[in-house]
Amino acid sequence: MSDNIEKMKQLYKEKFAPINEAFTHIHRGDHIFIGTACGEPQFLVNALVEFVKDNPKAFFDTELLQVWSLGVAPYTDSTFHSNFRLNSFFIGDPTRDAVNEGMADYTPLFLSQTSSMFKDELVPIDVALIQVSLPDPTGHVSLGVSVDITKAAVEKAELVIAQVNRNMPRVLGDSFLHIEDIDYLVVHHEPLLVYEDKLTDEISAKIGSYVSKIVQDGDTIQVGYGSIPNSVISNLKGKKHLGVHTELISDGIVELMKARVVDNSLKTLDRGKTVASFCMGTPRAYEFIHDNPDVEFKPIEYTNNPLNIARQRNMVAINSTLQIDLTGQSSAESIGHQFYSGIGGHADFMRGAVLAPGGTTILCLQSTADNGNVSRIVPFLSEGAGATLTRGDIHYVVTEYGIAYLHGKNIRERAMELISIAHPKFRSWLIKEAKKYSLIYKDQAFIPGKRGEYPEELETYKTTEAGMEVFLRPVKISDEPLLKDFFYHLSDQSMYKRFISARKDMPHERLQEFVIIDYT
């Protein structure tokens, strides 16, 4: 591959000009796209900042567009306020303060729609700074770990400057550009940015174990990023024939592929292939996806299109959130008025999975924040919070205290389901608030503290003589609708024998006596 660079230098000498010459073609007011996350061309970005340091009047008011920055984001420094302003589609750690202090912008978009915004020039692109692999003998380079919206940006930009890096993997699929489509090439080899999986804590591990009970053999999965999704992935090692259709590949997905837990053999669309749009991980992941025929990267308008996602039978979208209210709305992008992350592909996959035959959505969150002082399950979303998912998008909600199923349930049933998986010390408050806003019965009974905590250890499976496996568990406070249906399916004779009464009704005030349990 290195030999190919020398060959290309001879064929396209003018494209290998000094980097500062390339920067002289940037004009004031230009819209400059920067490659995504681990695919960010660090050398180009730093060189651009240095160029402006040395030439502070070279250009003014350029807009830097990026999905997500993992680098140090030097362009957000106040020194360059007249030269650069960042406009991000997803807020990461390096840029969060700048956005919330008004020094940078955030554009809320479904990632599936971003490429069309470029093509329709609703979000104009003049310059693209990207990172690519070494060229092959035909002059093609791969966008490697960052296909996502990068390819659409390249196709629209008037000026494309690419950092050629031997550490960028050559990823198969729709990831290739020809050198003729690039205006300037800068050869600079450096390690790619790394996204280390956060260490799994006890709470995240518990959430992951619950999610693994929902995911079935043969499902096609999408998993978001963060400590909880990583725990989910590690709990799927006992599954078989999983498929992957996702925007993001991480080290966790790579490990499932190596273990042949993921073989994509039962996928409806792109059978036999793990399909993604970008990779955030470690060199182990980058090495694995390099020239791997089992992996295909496609532009984000394909991977995140809800209609494509809906074509996958048994599609399971697994994502995390910051807050959910008792009616089933959730926010994954802000904490009240403070912007935290973004819409990203979260909503794309959740809505696509809802439409898929046999599809399922799973929303994960720790029950508390701020060292246990704040409940993430709340009566209503905090003022200013963005409703990333509506009440109709979520099937399962999982915390370290269990699984709540919301799909098809009314507001009262949803509230009781979610209260049952909230942190025990906040359940009394949630009951009180739910009554205040008439979300549940005004006379809803509740046992606080340890006496009301569900004893998961009593759950068990038994096999009948006929070979049928039966799941047995204690009754829960959220089981009242099930008991209601049970009672009204009993015969009059059975009702009389069970309750020594000719009573034919079973109202709420009587029913709740059977589900409000002192488990001690």
Place of tokens 């999610």: 211
Cβ-proximal residues to 57 (8 Å cutoff; 6+ apart), any chain: none
Distance of alpha carbon 233 from alpha carbon 347, whole angstroms: 20
Q: What architecture does CATH give domain 2-187?
A: 3-Layer(aba) Sandwich (3.40)
Nearest CA-CA partner of 160 in 144, 134, 178: 178
Give the pLDDT confidence score for residue 493 in this predicted structure: 87
* Nearest partner of 153 among 34, 303, 305, judged by Cα: 34
DSSP secondary structure of 407-452:
TT--HHHHHHHHHHTS-HHHHHHHHHHHHHTTSS-TT-----SGGG
Residues involved in catalysis: 247
| Fold agreement (2-187, 202-444) | yes
Model pLDDT, residue 1: 61
| CA–CA distance, 80 with 91 (Å, rounded to integer) | 20
pLDDT of residue 13: 92
Radius of gyration of the chain (CA): 27
Short-list 196, 137, 136, CA closest to 172: 136
d(CA 432, CA 430): 5
Residue 373: Cβ within 10 Å count = 8
Between CA 328 and CA 380 the distance in angstroms is 9
Q: Which fold has domain 202-444?
A: Glutaconate Coenzyme A-transferase (3.40.1080)
Instruction: Please state, as a whole number, how many other Cβ atoms lie within 10 Å of the Cβ of residue 264.
Output: 20
Domain residue ranges of the chain, discontinuous segments joined by +: 2-187, 202-444, 452-514
Amino acid at position 422, single letter: A
Both structure tokens of 256: 């499932």
User: Using CA atoms in the order 141, 147, 153, 158, what is the torsion angle rounded to 10 degrees?
Assistant: -10
User: Strand, helix or coil at 107?
Assistant: coil
CA-based nearest residue to 257, from 355, 142, 143, 279: 279
Low-confidence ranges of the chain (pLDDT < 50): none
